[in-house]
Amino acid sequence: MTSYRDRVGIAIFPRSSEAAVDLCVRAERANVNNAWMVMPATALDTLTILAAAAVKTERITLGTAIVPAFTRHPLAFVTQALALEGLAPGRFDLGIGSAHARTMVDVYHIDFDRPLRRLTEYLNIVQPILKTGSVHFEGEFYRADASFPHAPGTPVPIAALRAPAFRVAGRLADGAMSWNCPTAYIQQVALPALQEGADSAGRDRPRLMVHVPVIVTTDRDEVHRNAGEQLRYYAAAPFYARMFADAGYPLLPDGSVSPELIDDLVVSGTPDEIATQLRHRLDLGFDVLMVNPLRTEDDAAHEDAVLEILGGL
């Protein structure tokens, strides 16, 4: 039977390459089984960082949450995945997603008209290669004809926010990665859509991987202040604002998130209280928790406090 500890891990925005690799090493020492790195589209390339972390660790599963898929051709992503598997076979969980229109359009100048359709084609190239070693695909956005001598079966979950993306994940991916989704929304929208997608493909439902912001403090004002500041970026994105509203937490008139949304999303308290809340979310049917320490005055110390909680589950 899978333990609670097997179903949780730490998810971080790398402050630097060195700090990210060091955190993976510290996570393994703390008996944490999973570490994911978040990659905004103009930030450090997390696949490169994972290569460095792979050779400095022995057991921990290393993942991305997510790589913005449209920053590279799907075959380029595959060759990177194969290189990683050569360093640490079976220890990767490579999440991809469409990222945000404001980056993809304003910075990369990529056509972002139908991101989910484009991501579906991306999966139709990546998944056959990693699972069978070859692909022959011609779509609207991508073409690929390639064969490789080895198919490592690397898991490729996708980022999902609204029901259509969860359905695609259920149909094609190795999991769905939610981000800043309230609990009831996960239960009432995400899980049913993920199951519906899996049923349409005649396969078992893949993992639901749920982002959980955490701050180790009993000071509610500190929780609301820190979380409110860090959620402003997401609140400014129309698709997040619509999801929050659909979940019953419309933005405040000034565009900020409500205290009620923060109380739903963020796990806080003493270490024992946080551990209890994490177990409760797993008991609700969430398959994996990607625990993301909120930024504090001392990020490394706060990460260590969260690692201790995760390693002790």
Q: Which two tokens stand for residue 256?
A: 């900020």
On whether residue 173 sits in a domain, the answer given is no
Domain holding 112, by residue range, is 38-157
Alpha-carbon torsion angle 176, 287, 135, 64, nearest 10: 70
pLDDT of residue 103: 77
pLDDT of residue 3: 84
Q: Model's pTM, two decimal places?
A: 0.95
User: For the chain, how many structural domains are there in total?
Assistant: 1
On whether residue 295 sits in a domain, the answer given is no
pLDDT of residue 115: 93
For the chain, the 3-state helix, strand and coil shares in percent, each to the nearest 5, are 50, 20, 35
pLDDT of residue 139: 96
On whether residue 120 sits in a domain, the answer given is yes
What is the widest separation between alpha-carbon atoms in the chain?
A: 56
On whether residue 58 sits in a domain, the answer given is yes
On whether residue 229 sits in a domain, the answer given is no
Q: What is the CATH number of the domain that holds 59?
A: 3.20.20.30
Determine the length of the chain: 313
Tell me the C-alpha distance between 312 and 52, whole Å: 26
Q: What is the pLDDT along the chain (313 residues), one digit of tens a residue?
A: 578 999 999 999 999 999 999 999 999 999 999 999 999 888 999 999 999 999 999 999 999 999 999 999 999 999 999 999 999 999 999 999 998 777 777 888 888 889 999 999 999 999 999 999 999 999 999 999 999 999 999 999 999 999 999 999 999 999 999 999 999 999 999 999 999 999 999 999 999 999 999 999 999 999 999 999 999 999 999 999 999 999 999 999 999 999 999 999 999 999 999 999 999 999 999 999 999 999 999 999 999 999 999 999 9
Tell me the C-alpha distance between 76 and 41, whole Å: 16
pLDDT of residue 208: 98
172 in Cβ contact with 127 (< 8 Å): yes
On whether residue 162 sits in a domain, the answer given is no
On whether residue 142 sits in a domain, the answer given is yes
On whether residue 180 sits in a domain, the answer given is no
pLDDT of residue 101: 79
pLDDT of residue 111: 82
Residue 83, classified by CB atoms within 10 Å of its CB into exposed (0-12), middle (13-18) or buried (19+), is middle
Instruction: Give the three-state DSSP class for 136.
Output: strand
